[in-house]
Structure formats: C-alpha cells, structure tokens
Structure 1
C-alpha cells in the first residue's frame, strides 16, 4: 500500500544549550522567636541573631551552591493527510543535564550527575472544517531533580545541598476547539505526573511517590465588535499526592495548588482617542492547603485590575505607554509557597492596591 503525502511533510529541528550557576548562604535562628500575629504584626526593635543560629556560607558573600549545564536536540516531522484535515506531528528529543552541587562553606563538591534521556512527543489534529478542531498530544521531558534543604524540623539534613537525580515528566492532553474568527472556545483535559520529594525520618532528602495533576480547562475568547476583545477561562485541577508511603499524605492535595481557578480579560479601544485601549482583568483563585497533610487551609480570593495603554510615537520611534491599578478593591489574601523537601508550606502577604506605569519602545 502506498500513501501519497501532499503537501510534503514538514520537518524541523532545533538545538538548545544553557548554563546556570546558583550561589547561596543561609542562617536559621529558631532561638529568636519573637511574639507577633499574622493579622496584626508586631514591630520589634531588636531582632539580632542569637547564639543558637546555624549558618551555611557567608550571607554577605554567598558562594557557589550548584552548577547546571543543559543541552537539548530535537527533531520533529509533521505529516498532512486527508486533504490537510488530519495532521500528525512526531518528534523525538535528546536532553542532557549535568549538575554539580557544592558545600555552602567549604566549596567541596557534595554530589554530581551527568544524565541524559531520549523522550518522544506525539500530536494529532483533526479539522473536519475551518471552524472545528479535535486534538491530542503526549510529551515527555527530562527535568532537574529537587535540591535537598539545609535543615528540616530544626535538624540538619544529612544530604543538604544534594540534587536528586533528574526525572522524566509526562504530560498528555486531549481537546476540542471552535473558532469562527469572531468568537471561539476550547475545552481541554490534561494529565501530568512528577516525582515527590521530602525529608524522611532519618533526616535525608529522598523521593517518595509522585504528585499527580489532572484537570479540565474551558476557555472562551473573541471580538464581538471591532474595538472590543475578551478572553475568559476556568479550570478545575485535581492535584494529589500518590504512593507516598504514608496514609497521612496519600490522596491529599498538593501544597499551594487550588482546585478552581478562573480569569476574565476585557480590552476596549476608545474610538475617540486613536491608540488608546482600556483594559480590565478579574482573577479568581480557589482555596489551597499550606501543608501536605491538608490540615491548614487558605481561603480563596478574587482580584480586579484596571488599566490602559496608549500607542503613540516619540519622534519617529513607536512607543506604548501602560498604566495599571492592581488589586483595585484592596482584597486581602495569602499566597502559598512550598519549602523544598518540607511537608509544610509558607504564606506570603498579598500585593496591596498599587499603581504601575511603564513605557515600551519598538526598535
């Protein structure tokens, strides 16, 4: 059987390289626990380090903590069939990650690895007509492992500063898209996995299970009028810890990941003022947990940003002036982060109402 391909397959490839150095130092002072309150912070004049402080490196002159070299070579081929209604993209990528970790103080090399992997990528798009598309894709990628923290639960970690071996992350997605040139929408279902790392009972940083993310995302976009554009989306994400080896954490949500997120963006070109566009953004973030056992829950929040941009010329140079008032309603909320290797997260205070201005030049 012979299949004629027309137009001819599209073949492409690329090479990417990168080098990264990280410097650091740390100081932990659990003896300096001054009374305060998250909601009504107390100001203290004397917060100097105590005699029990544990140091790593020099805070005034951080030294080398790690070096990473990354190389990637990829080749992809797109084949069109059925009068271009069906397109298949097949690709392969070779990635190499070389990492060296060093002691903060002595600069002695604590660990290193040189790892590489061949990873595939597959994509299919079926377009029965110009408005509708059905697609699916699968991709793998080699990623750098997490780095062991210096301390956990007030005790030094046995392999502090050591980078765990690279891991292969996997992502699959299927979706449906409609776009008639005026309005459009897309629905996607996706699934990703990545290893989970923590500090065990022996105070050693190790991998244990994985974080599994699977969700669905709906977006709507369009331009119902020549001077009006909108983009809205909502996503539901089920991010859980699996195969952790502990009933306390298995099946619990990943630190800092909300189940529900949504956004709405609107742009309006002012007809009476050429080059002036008014913008508005509403962003909602659902509740999150600040610990792996899911006992500390952080409330959801919604913010409103209003702004404008003005395209003009400065002499013969194209220029765009932008201004945004963020968090217009003064919403109070917490952002949730995660310490490497810890079963506890941390909270950061929200950004207050602020005015931001910028100027961009197109050369």
Structure 2
C-alpha cells in the first residue's frame, strides 16, 4: 500500500540537393537566435519564433491563427527552447515536467513515451499541428528534441481543430524552421552511464534574393542507463526542411525527418508483498529482470509540407500534407503479477513470458482550410473553416514463448525462450473525414468570444484474433469567452468536447464505443513585471466516457472501464522577473477518480495521478558586470502519493527531486554547461502501469555540455 521508506514520420531528392548546397557556407549567426516574427496572419511565421526570457506571446495550437495567449479562452502552456537548453533536457517527458498536471505514463518497455494529462493517459501528440497516426496504440520510438523549437500544451479536449486525441490535453511539438539568416549551432554532451551525444543545426538562404531557405539538423547519442541492462541505448536523428517564400503573400515549407533507435527492452521492476501482506515497491532502482537478447529496434520517416497563400489582406488559404512510416522489431519479456517465495530458501521469484513483435505502420493526413479576418458592425471576426482526411494502417505479428522464472533479489541471467507460438496477425485500418468551423469574435477592447464545431466520420477495422469494424459519427463543439478588465489581465471560461474512435481489440470481438470527453474550465491570466512574466490560474472539471483500459484478465485485450472524472486547480508561470532572473513554475491539485464501472469500484483513484504536483526552475544570469559570463539554474520537481493500478491495491510514494545547472560563456555564443540531476540521489518511481510494470526514476547523474553558434 506504500512505497518503502528506504527506497521512496515527392520532393525528397530535391530536398537533399538543396541541403547540400547550403550546408558548407552556413556559418554565421546562431540559427536559434532570430527574433520573434510577425504572427498576425500566418501560422507558418510563428513556427520557430523563440523567446529569450522563457515567455511566448503568440501560439498556434489553440486557434491555428497565431492568437495572443491572453485572448485564448483555454489554459495553454509552453516549454520554450531556452528551458530545454538550460536544463539540458534530452526527452519529451522531462520537458513536460515544466507544465502543470502532466506526469509520465508508460514507457512501453523502454521504447517510447506517454503521459498523464489532467489525470488521463495519452499516447498521442502533434508535430506542427499534425496528430500522430490513429492506428497505433503506442509510439514506436522516443521523440528526439534536436529539431524542437518549443512545446505547446493545450489543456482539455482539442477535437474542434485536431479531431482525435485524448481529452486531458493536446501536446503540440513546434519544430525549428529554415531562416533567411545564415547560421549554425552545435552541441556535444557527455555524462553519467557513458552517455554521449552530438548535435548540429545549419540554416540559411540558398539564393541572393532570399526567397529560398533550408535547414539541416542531425543528432546521435549512445549510452548505458542507470539500470543494470546489457545493451546500450542508441539513437540517430536527421531532419531537413525547405522554406520557399517567393512573395510576401506566399509561403511553402516542406520537411523530411528520419529517426532510428535500438535499445534494451525493459519492463522495469515489480511490486512485492511485505511481511504484513501489503504490496510495496522496494527493489533497487537499477534491478533488471530481463535478458540480454531482449532488444527493441525501430525506425521512422516523416514528411510534411505546408502551403499558405494570402489571397487578400483579409483572406489566407492553407493546405497541409503529411505522411509517416514506421517499423518496429521487438523481443521482450513480460512479468507475472505475483511473486513466489520459496519456503526453504526464501528466494523470491517472478514468472516471465518471452514475446516477439514485428510491426509496420503508415499514415496519410491531408488538411485544407482558410482563415478570414473581417468586421461586421464594429465586431471583429477571425474565421477558420476547413476539412481533414486521414488514412492509417498498421500490421503486427506477435508470438509468445515460455521463459524461466528469475530471482528478483539475486537475478541470474542467461535464460533462453522456449518455442515461440504465433498469435493471429493483427491488421488495423483507420480512416476519417472531418470538417471544422471556428470563429474568434472581438467585441471592443475588453471581450473576446470563441465558438467552433467539428464533425467527424471515423471508420476503423481491426482484424486479428478478434475481428470487428466500427463506423462512428460525432459533433464536437467548443465555446469560450475572455474578459479583459485591464490590458494585462484576462478572465476566461470555456466548454469543450472531445471524440475518439478506438481501434483496440476486446476479448469478445466487440468494439468499444467511441470515447467522449467534456470539460468545463474557468481561470485568470495575467502578465506581470511589465509583461515579462506570464501566469495562468485555472479550475476545471473533465469527464471521460467509454474509457479503454487494459484487460487485467486477458493480456493483449482491452475493456470498457466506464466513466472517469478529473477535477482540479492548476497554476503556471513563466518568463522573467528581471532581465537577469528567469523562472518557469507550475503547481497542480488533481482529483481523478472512477465514477462508474463494471470492473472497478467507484471512487478508485486513477493510475499514476498525484493529488499534488509541481515544479520550479529559476535561472540567474547577470546581464553585465564581472559575473556576466556565468549562469546558474536550479529547481525542484515534486509529486505526492500515486496509485499503482486501477484496482488501487498498491501505491507508490511521493517524492521531491532537486536539479541544478551551472554554465560559463567561453565566448559570446559558446558556453560550457554542467547539470546535476536528482542532487540528493532520492529513490522515486517515475511511472507505473501495474504491479508488474513499474519504472523507477534515475538517481543522481551528471551531464556536461559544450554548445555554441557561429
């Protein structure tokens, strides 16, 4: 019942040619140092805008119109590139600790990330406003941050503009875009557990008229982990993009990325029973219960393009296309749900099953819309009207084999799997056709309204050991109001709904009804210290129906877990207090429970959701004087007790983790940074899925980085 105190994805060749043309001479101003660009009409121009004080003024996620944060009637937060650099963040999960109400979800055996947002699990996110494939349940790899400009998080349902998605919120990763100023930056990092990483970013114009610009980004890393695994983690990432802007009214951008990763498959540790019969989590954080041959290898290609043209000063049309393709080869080990104790020797062992999985998937996404800005009777309107077509495919083979038990206290490795028995191949097909309409209404200087609606027609089939097809239709509305009593304060309220058709199989072959969510939210936004510091305080109630949950009695299948509700209070703050002091902070109170279910008791707490959580990060970097070459950062991440499973038969304890950063500017744009994470070496649990899949957090670690721009 507690955590033991002593532990607590046409034009590819052209793209490559253009990149080669620009790479050599692009050594001037640092690529990421461009000033924020105009966002009054273009969604493209806001992409890549950077803040140097942890504060972003306009975002695209909430409205797709580059609207000021103060005019958006919904809670939306961000993690700018400066925070990623100052904290030397290497993964998406760590970056999102800077946003209230977000916790780590399952890592799917150490292959990818998922999250808990406002109490609800989510494996989906968007890349430049394009959602991931609806046919995949779990991402096949971690997201590299080399080409990430910032991360935006829209709290609550986002179905009006984005369709599918989890109701807790939408994570939108905004990527770095080509610039018309030549530049190159680099970084090399090394640290604990033989970690090494190198990264380079080159951008600049191709022609003298500066109508064509390119950007090339590459990164590679390798290293062991704090876990006693046999295989190192290795990742390679490449990204190339082209921006063509023949006139002030036309912008075309295309990008191609490739990612490859190979790592040890690792399900973490297991809960055990103590002398009182209670389930506890007290195995050492480094304890590995797998085998050397259990590895995961994945690769992913993504191609995106975006065409935007201003037909008139008041009318812009856009067309967006996306294709991604992924491949996964996995050999893994699943653990049993109980630990046996030998009556004579006292040895504690857990059952294991070997699994082999191979998967191929691809996804097409096409969108077209228009943005119109006009006035009627002195009332301003910004209207977005468009449609989207998505077609996705996933094919998976799966096999199981017997595997010897392992002593969880004194593991001996070398066991080999028995004969693999193939399960039925699984083929998932998904397609949807959607239309959406949204109007932002400005009534004078003090009142802004937002209203929108989306219609989705989603069809899915899942053929495997069970076979079914679904054909779902739904309307998703959104309404909100902003009242600004004074220029730097906004009061807001909103109501939103979400819709998501689920492809997951059930033991009886019947599809789970589409998941629906609805949220009521109200709050206040304020800009302080002369507009340098942005803050948001919000309260919400979010209800989710037809929740898909892993079937506890049938591995590989799912059940309808009924109705769940999350309600709470969240606070976020980011920006600069003075030119020398920057801060990003958050706090959340989250009450997330089961409201009705045939499988779980009403009132049960949701998995991995702390009632209290938050983080604080502050940096001090003098702008002049004898210490102006130095910078110092420090922070804390904390969370209270969390339930380890939906049955609420065990929990993992709260924790408080301290991190720090110190850097010295060797030159104007070259700096040496040293980070220490988990300074006190506290034992804590990062995430939990069940008593047989628990992910411990890393102990004290060091990271040294040299970065610069030319």
Q: Which interval holds the TM-score relative to the shorter structure?
A: 0.7 to 0.9
Q: Which residue does the alignment assign to 2:504?
A: 147
In 2: Cα distance, 1:15 partner to 1:310 partner = 50
**Contact map agreement 2:462 2:503 (CA 8 A) in 1:** no
Deviations 1:90-144 (A, max 9, x none): 111123333232327xxxx822223232211101000111132210111112223
Q: 1:73 aligns with which of 415, 419, 435?
A: 435
In 2: Cα distance, 1:14 partner to 1:281 partner = 43
Q: Which residue does the alignment assign to 1:350?
A: 697
**Contact map agreement 1:212 1:239 (CA 8 A) in 2:** yes
Q: Which residue does the alignment assign to 1:116?
A: 473
In 2: Cα distance, 1:192 partner to 1:69 partner = 27
Could you say what secondary structure the match of 2:407 adopts? coil
| Alpha-carbon offset, residue 145 of structure 1 | 2.1
Could you say what secondary structure the match of 1:32 adopts? strand
Could you say what secondary structure the match of 1:79 adopts? strand
In 2: Cα distance, 1:140 partner to 1:12 partner = 18
In 1: Cα distance, 2:629 partner to 2:428 partner = 48
Q: Give the structure with the higher percent strand.
A: 1
| Alpha-carbon offset, residue 251 of structure 1 | 0.7
Deviations 1:281-316 (A, max 9, x none): 3111221111222120101112223336789999xx
Q: Which residue does the alignment assign to 2:525?
A: 177
Q: Is 1:330 matched up with 2:677?
A: no
Alignment CA distance shift 1:27-1:158 (3 Å)? farther
Alignment CA distance shift 1:297-1:29 (3 Å)? farther
In 2: Cα distance, 1:234 partner to 1:13 partner = 36
Q: Is 1:240 matched up with 2:597?
A: no
* Structure 2: gaps spanning 5 or more residues: 1-374
* Structure 1: gaps spanning 5 or more residues: 58-62, 150-156
Q: Give the structure with the higher percent helix.
A: 2
In 1: Cα distance, 2:524 partner to 2:427 partner = 45
Q: Is 1:259 matched up with 2:620?
A: no
| Alpha-carbon offset, residue 168 of structure 1 | 2.2
In 2: Cα distance, 1:179 partner to 1:36 partner = 53
In 2: Cα distance, 1:173 partner to 1:139 partner = 9
Instruction: State the superposition RMSD in angstroms.
Output: 3.7
Alignment CA distance shift 1:118-1:309 (3 Å)? farther
In 1: Cα distance, 2:615 partner to 2:652 partner = 19
Q: Is 1:90 matched up with 2:451?
A: yes
In 2: Cα distance, 1:237 partner to 1:252 partner = 14
In 1: Cα distance, 2:395 partner to 2:699 partner = 31
Aligned residue pairs total 329
**Contact map agreement 1:266 1:280 (CA 8 A) in 2:** yes
Q: Is 1:306 matched up with 2:673?
A: no
- Normalising by structure 2, we get a TM-score of 0.41
